[in-house]
């Protein structure tokens, strides 16, 4: 059975762990480089990306984490986690890990709508739309050619993406009862995720 870690430096890691327990997944909290040992997948939760980035460096886990990804570990970043996976941020801080070919702007929805919810169709999860909770969410400003779009807001903003074994969502599936996104991540870890754009060969 796949072993999944949840980066537990700051943010809502406990909510992700709770969903993984509901899915009877073998999972553990990750705080130190040694906790990455033997993991097949890692979730980077929502929270405060500047704090998580600082703690990545304090605990010397940034480089070991990037090495594990190069060796094939899957990663899913939610909200602050997506910010940390980016190649580039609009802002100077924090220093992202440059693992996904996206440019991201933090807190990009402005004060009025800094938190909102939307039901978004995500073909990779099946027919029923997914209830997406956005909390001071980041916006994807630029997508590289190898990045697949899994979900968009009706006005067109991309909010869920996949690049090979890497997944990122601007919203928080761990705050809903719907476990489909976690199951989708587990299928990526197992190498069984289907092409989100099934089309002619
Ligand atoms: N605004 C936060 C940041 O910049 C992200 C918010 C979240 O993870 N819900 O890190």
- What is the whole-number distance in angstroms between the Cα of residue 154 and the centre of ligand 1? 22
Euclidean distance between CA atoms 121 and 130, whole angstroms? 6
Q: What's the longest Cα–Cα distance across the chain? A: 48
Ligand 1, residues 6, 11, 48: which to mutate, most atoms within 8 A of Cβ? Answer: 48
Q: Domains of the chain (ranges plus CATH)?
A: 3-194 (3.40.50.880)
Q: What backbone torsions phi and psi does residue 178 show, to the nearest 5 degrees?
A: -80, 115
How far apart, in whole angstroms, are the C-alpha atoms of residue 70 and residue 114?
34
* Nearest atom (ligand 1) to Cα of 50: 10
Answer whether 161's CB lies under 8 Å from 118's CB.
no
Confidence (pLDDT) at 198: 46
Q: pLDDT per position in the chain (201 positions), as tens? A: 899 999 999 999 999 999 999 999 999 999 999 999 999 999 999 999 999 999 999 999 999 999 999 999 999 999 999 999 999 999 999 999 999 999 999 999 877 678 999 999 999 999 999 999 999 999 999 999 999 999 999 988 999 999 999 999 999 999 999 999 999 999 999 998 765 544 444
Polymer length in residues for the chain = 201
> What's the CA-to-centroid distance between 198 and ligand 1, angstroms?
32
């Amino acid at each position: 059975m796949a072993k999944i870690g949840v980066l537990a430096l700051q943010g809502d890691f406990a909510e992700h762990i709770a969903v993984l327990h509901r899915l009877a997944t073998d999972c553990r909290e990750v705080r130190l480089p040694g906790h990455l040992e033997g993991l097949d997948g890692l979730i980077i939760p929502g929270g405060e990306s500047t704090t998580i980035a600082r703690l990545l460096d304090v605990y010397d886990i940034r480089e070991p984490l990037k090495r594990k990804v190069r060796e094939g570990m899957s990663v899913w970043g939610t909200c602050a986690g997506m910010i940390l996976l980016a190649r580039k941020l609009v802002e100077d801080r924090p220093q992202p890990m440059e693992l996904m070919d996206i440019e991201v702007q933090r807190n990009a929805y402005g004060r009025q709508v800094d938190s909102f919810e939307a039901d978004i169709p995500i073909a990779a999860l099946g027919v029923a739309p997914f209830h997406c909770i956005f909390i001071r969410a980041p916006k994807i400003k630029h997508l590289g050619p190898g990045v697949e779009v899994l979900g968009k807001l009706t006005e067109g903003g991309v909010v869920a993406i996949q690049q090979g074994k890497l997944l990122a969502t601007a919203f928080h599936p761990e705050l809903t009862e719907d476990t489909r996104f976690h199951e989708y991540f587990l299928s990526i870890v197992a190498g069984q995720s289907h092409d989100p754009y099934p089309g002619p060969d």
